Structure 1
């Protein structure tokens, strides 16, 4: 292939280069070799490629790695954004929703149930019973409207119990609605967390299976480029020393 013992042709531009400036195609990494063959279908393993074009293909490979990783990361991020915008992950403000849906009757029922389950109700109810029985037993103020066995008091207590029971049940229904909404929120939060974990695992898999190998490949390319630059610098220094030596010899002859 070479027209000169010291010159060989580059398979890309068919220009002649010195042997130190070219690399055998078969000595390159498979991915890089396939990339070169894609643009030069007639290339053979024993062909040469110059350092200039080899650098372009290596940089193109780095760009391909970066673009592939960016596309994959963007795809994962779009998937996460789309999933989080879904109604399945909507977390509702339970207090605000219940407060806006309360009717006057439900508010009164909640207030009565809240008061009926407090120490204030027990104290007031006890005082009313003591006052009632004291007035009718001792005849305080000269009044005895419900003498022993306090039939009117029993009727009054029965009426209170009959009215208070459905009121408490209405309040319990409200509590059941709150529990249901809380359970729905817990479900949405759990579903959201599970989906985030799945996407996080996908990102970790992408990092371990794609980005890390690509980073190692880029580092390898950088090392190869630096090694070639170092070799060229050494070659230039040797040529400079040879020229200086030749110049000194010519100068000494003069």
Structure 2
């Protein structure tokens, strides 16, 4: 029994003798942790022994590397998102307000004529004027009879109104088309900037899901292994304590 208790192995790191329960073999370690140890000891084999003290150091070093890698990646994505949000290459504008401030007097008249010409007020007013015109010249109200049937003067008046109204309405439509073009361009720029910001945010979320979360689980696994190793050592110490106490009690009884 004493031979089993005193059984010891040399640690790969400091070449000191340690009890078998105070460490593990490289083959029992995780592949990434084993690779980290072999960076310092390239010739180490899977059957070599490493003590718990140095194993904890390598586990902490592994966690530091994972945390530093995640920090660098998150910092890179954060800087990219900051650059996108601070990009003032295009300023969002109020298209309608900008156009209203740039309207000339003629354009304002054209817009007013187009608004009035396309309303029920204009239609009803124009119908009322034509009916009054026709009745006035048919029944000679107030002794007025300036445009007898077939109302040539009325036809001339209608043609003049149509000739003047049509280009004014077209001018207003051109203004409306220009407004639509500017609004579409503004919407495109806003959507493009929003899309870029969303893409960067998606990259951060994907990084959290694909990298940070697995790394966090890996760190928790390493911590669990460290706790398990400590518990194993504590259990072994208790077993040894019970063994020596039992041996001392037996020796006392024999005396």
Shift of 1:123: 0.8
CA distance in 1, matches of 2:100, 2:240: 88
Per the alignment, do residues 22 and 64 of structure 1 end up closer, same or farther by CA in structure 2, a change over 3 Å counting?
same
2:138 corresponds in structure 1 to 137
Give me the whole-angstrom Cα distance separating, in 2, the residues matched to 1:198 and 1:89.
19
Residues 113 and 98 of structure 1, relative CA distance in 2, 3 Å threshold = same
Q: CA deviation at 1:249?
A: 4.2
Q: CA deviation at 1:113?
A: 0.4
Alpha-carbon distance, 1:129 to partner:
1.4
| Gap change, CA 1:210 and 1:89, over 3 Å in 2 | farther
Determine the structure 2 residue equivalent to 1:181.
Answer: 182
Q: Of the two structures, which has the highest relative contact order with CA contacts closer than 8 Å and spacing of 6 or more?
A: 2
CA distance in 2, matches of 1:166, 1:87: 40
In the alignment, structure 1 residue 111 sits paired with structure 2 residue 112: yes
With over 3 angstroms needed to count, the CA separation of the structure-2 counterparts of 1:100 and 1:61, relative to structure 1, is: farther
| 1:237 positional shift | 1.9
Aligned length: 251
**TM-score, scaled to structure 2:** 0.81
Residues 186-205 of structure 1: pairs in structure 2 closer than 5 A: 186-192=187-193, 194-196=195-197, 198-199=199-200, 202-203=203-204, 205=206
Which one is further off, 23-32 or 202-211?
Answer: 202-211
Contact 1:26/1:46, CA 8 A, preserved across alignment: yes
Report the secondary structure of 1:109's partner residue: helix
| TM-score relative to the length of structure 1 | 0.82
Alpha-carbon contact 1:89-1:191 (below 8 Å) kept: no
Q: Please report the RMSD computed on the Cα atoms of aligned residues, expressed in angstroms.
A: 3.0
